[in-house]
């Protein structure tokens, strides 16, 4: 079953008011040993560019309103997934969400550490294709600046970090098992960048979705077990100290032969530089 990586709102942490038509995780369970499926806990100081996107009005306070992730690419600029800013998720246009915030410098969602910064402006990629999920990114402009040390560089086209076989880390606060087991502490999972040929074989089109190398990349393990999952959407995929992907979509969580699909950040760089 093709699914986006927004937190499945019909799961135990959901609000009844937000049980919209958001794709759910496949019924096939993933490896449950740890999010980010098959992952391990990390301190946000190790990845200060990793932030939570939050709305308590929409998603409640159980997880500080977290529903997606994001990556800090400028002192007042965060990248997240375009589908996180969709009306099906937010219940209306982003401008109508009064308490849309980015939670920065916080490892545990319910702690008092870090900062909660209002989002001043949301720009969804005008070329985003919601049906095929190509160009799945949005730019959030913050009302207050974060320190420069929180910013991660974006990998442009031709960067060796995109080479197949490259080791990468994906970060998030999402489902740790593929069965609705959400974490309140930041986690990471080590995955490997896969070749475009492997990604196309995994997602040739039809019900599972189509992989488009121009705006996507995929990463995972041949045997499965390590992957992003529900609630990780928009979160960073990092290789060589540079941002190469944003959590976007896939089939199940941690399933063999079904790697996670990410927004290709080189495409984001190209589009933003041409804006």
Selected catalytic residue, list 83, 215, 232, 248: 83
Question: Catalytic: 273?
Answer: no
Predicted confidence at residue 93, as pLDDT, reads 95
For residue 26, count CB atoms less than 10 angstroms from its CB and return exposed for 0-12, middle for 13-18, buried for 19 or more.
middle
Structural domains in the chain, sorted by start: 40-204+211-274 (2.40.10.10)
DSSP conformational letter for 200: H
Under 8 Å between Cβ of 190 and 36: no
Q: Does residue 99 carry a catalytic annotation? A: no
Q: Would you call 233 a catalytic residue per the annotation?
A: yes
- Confidence at residue 213, expressed as pLDDT on a 0 to 100 scale: 97
Give average pLDDT by consecutive 10-residue segment, the chain, 275 residues: 44 26 29 52 96 96 94 98 95 94 97 96 96 96 98 97 97 77 87 96 89 96 80 95 96 86 97 83
Residue 145, helix vs strand vs coil: coil
Alpha carbon distances (Å) from 225 to 39, 95, 244, 256, 258: 9, 38, 21, 7, 10
H-run or E-run covering 270:
helix 265-273
Phi, psi angles (nearest 5°) of residue 161 = -65, -20
Which pLDDT score is estimated for 36? 58
Structure confidence at residue 225 (pLDDT):
74
Catalytic site residue from 34, 136, 175, 232: 136
Residue whose token pair is 């609705």 = 180
């Amino acid at each position: 079953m093709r699914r986006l990586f927004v937190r499945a709102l019909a799961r135990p942490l959901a609000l009844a008011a937000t049980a919209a038509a958001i794709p759910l995780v496949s019924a096939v369970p993933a490896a449950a040993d740890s999010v980010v499926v098959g992952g391990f806990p990390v301190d946000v100081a190790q990845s200060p560019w990793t932030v939570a996107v939050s709305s308590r009005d929409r998603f409640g306070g159980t997880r500080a309103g977290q529903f997606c992730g994001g990556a800090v690419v400028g002192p007042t600029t965060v990248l997240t997934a375009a589908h996180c800013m969709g009306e099906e998720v937010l219940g209306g246009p982003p401008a109508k969400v009064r308490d849309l915030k980015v939670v920065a410098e916080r490892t545990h969602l319910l702690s008092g550490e870090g900062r909660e910064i209002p989002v001043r402006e949301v720009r969804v990629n005008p070329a985003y294709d919601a049906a095929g999920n190509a160009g799945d990114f949005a730019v959030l402009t913050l009302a207050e600046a974060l320190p420069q040390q929180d910013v991660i560089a974006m990998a442009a086209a031709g960067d060796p970090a995109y080479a197949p076989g490259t080791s990468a880390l994906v970060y998030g606060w999402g489902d740790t098992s593929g069965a609705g087991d959400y974490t309140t502490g930041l986690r990471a999972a080590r995955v490997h960048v896969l070749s475009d040929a492997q990604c196309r074989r995994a997602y040739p089109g039809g019900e599972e979705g189509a992989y488009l190398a121009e705006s996507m990349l995929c990463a995972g393990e041949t045997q499965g077990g390590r992957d992003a999952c529900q609630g990780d959407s928009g979160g960073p995929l990092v290789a060589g100290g540079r941002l190469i992907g944003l959590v976007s979509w896939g089939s199940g969580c941690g399933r063999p032969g079904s790697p996670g699909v990410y927004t290709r950040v080189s495409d984001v760089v190209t589009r933003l530089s041409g804006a």
